[in-house]
Amino acid sequence: MNFESPLDGLLGRLFTNQGDSVTADDLANLETGLASDAPDLGLLCLAKLVEIASTGGEATVKHLYSVDIVPFLLRLSSSSNLRVGEALANLSAVLSGPEDRAAFIEQGGFKALTNVIHTFLSTGSSSRVPPDTKILLVACEVYAKIVQTAALPTIFPQPYRENAVAGLQPIFLLLAHPASTPTQVGIALLTLSRLGLTDPVVGSAITQGSIAIPAATAASSSRTLKVVDRIEGHLLNPNMEVSRLATRVVSVLVNSKAGWYYWSGERKSFEFPGEADAKDIYTPKGEPGTLDPEAGRRLGVLLLLTDSDDSITRKSAATALAVLTQSESACSALIALKIVTKGAMIPTKLWDRVADLFEPGGVRPPADTPGARSTGTGPPDRELADRGAMIAFNLLSFVNRFYEPEKSNEIKSAVDSGLKAALEAGIKGEFGAAVDANLKAALKVLNK
């Protein structure tokens, strides 16, 4: 008489690496075993299945798809068993590779992964044993990669805006968790850039978002972090790729209502047509006409990044400033900005930074001397010149409303920096009507 259960037979085959022998009936039996009062054998089978899927290569993955492994994941994803969730997270990482991602989403894999992460986060915020941190971050990384690359309507159906905002938490966690690797942080930043571009309300939700970092142990407590603080913290990250991606996120978020107000420090109320029907987005804080010192600091960081060694970072920082200098408060803060050098407060070289955006080929100037220009004869970088012209126009338009002698003094500083010559050189770059219009508009204001 044979008393061997179906799971005993499955486990035996899995231990001999017979991943291609797994059938749909095996998965059904495994599902039943995991739902029983004694799931230990099922958990052992599931762990071995994860191991074989991870090491068996594409042929094993294809076979598992043929026996409906993803619907199996979806059915199990409602389990409150932490070990089941951890196994499903690891399986999702294997089954959602670039070549299989569309099938993974279509068959319910993204929904399963979302369910698993939700269970992880609800467990981590309670007194129960929290999920393994590494596996939690793997799940969030897989989630972010899917959001980064998939057709968004397939993962965030209508109403898109509400579903996309509701789906931000795993990406926030990947960004903010102290155990995230630089690669994982970069994935999170790139994903936030993509989502922020799709809808300004999503951009505002990112700017105002927060995330509770799950407790590391059952005895410890969770803590809540602001997402924007983490983004700002990475702007000057020594890892150039992370800094580049963080600056890119800012250049996207400043086009949202909350992002524009946050980085500009503007305290007047303006209408944002793309967010007119959204509730509770952002209300300016402080009295109109007063400056937000924190906004000045944020703008100073962006100004500093226009002098980055990395050309992509420079372009993103300049793009952000071209948007933000449409705010009078931002212009005022940039012009008044001071930095500490050897204990003394001195003005930042605002106009030099703007003029540097017109360097031949977009390269940084060779010397940090007011008015110093490169000896190159080539035209400026088209994108940097365009952004530089927008920044110059906005700042100079603001300066032209000054009383004398402040107006003349500021204009002289701009001319001495080489900005006038830089604008004239930019016009010779033959960048097309749109860029020429911005360059000529800035030069016209400077010559008033």
Q: According to the model, what pLDDT value does residue 362 have?
A: 52
Question: By mean pLDDT, which of 148-152, 212-216, 229-233 is the weakest?
Answer: 212-216
Identify the pLDDT of residue 180.
96
Does residue 77 belong to any structural domain of this protein?
Answer: yes
How would you class 207 by CB atoms within 10 Å of its CB: exposed for 0-12, middle for 13-18, buried for 19 or more?
buried
Whether residue 150 lies inside any domain: the answer is yes
Confidence of residue 428 (pLDDT cuts 50, 70, 90): confident
Among residues 123, 155, 187, the one where a domain terminates is 155
Same domain, 297 and 441: yes
- Interior angle at CA 153, CA 152 and CA 155, nearest 5: 70
Share of the chain above pLDDT 90, in %: 56
Q: Is residue 72 part of a domain?
A: yes
Global pTM reads 0.89
250 domain-assigned: no
CATH number at residue 93: 1.25.10.10
pLDDT higher than 50, residue 2: no
Write out the residue range of the structural domain in which residue 147 sits.
1-155
Above 50 in pLDDT, residue 1?
A: no
Q: Is it the case that residue 341 has pLDDT exceeding 60?
A: no
The predicted structure's pLDDT at residue 227: 97
Residues 174/180, Cβ–Cβ less than 8 Å: yes
Domain count, the chain: 2
Helix (H) or strand (E) holding 202: helix 200-207
Tens-place pLDDT, residues 56-108:
889 999 999 999 999 999 999 999 899 999 999 999 999 999 999 999 999 99
The residue assigned the tokens 């400026």 is: 380
Q: Of the candidates 155, 177, 204, which is a domain's last residue? A: 155
279, 324 contact by CB (below 8 A): no
* Strand extents, DSSP E, 191-246: 210-213, 223-226
Picking from 155, 183, 216, the residue at the C-terminal end of a domain is: 155
What is the C-alpha separation between 143 and 208, in angstroms, rounded?
21
- pLDDT tens by residue, 249-308: 999 999 999 999 999 988 777 666 666 555 555 555 666 556 677 888 999 999 999 999
Is residue 233 over pLDDT 50? yes
Beta bridge partners of 226: 210
Does residue 167 sit within a domain?
Answer: no
Q: Does some domain include residue 281?
A: no
- Contacts for 161 with CB less than 8 Å, ≥ 6 apart: 199, 201, 202, 278
Considering the domain boundaries, does residue 162 fall inside one? no
Q: Which residue has the higher pLDDT, 379 or 139?
A: 139
Does residue 183 fall inside a structural domain? no
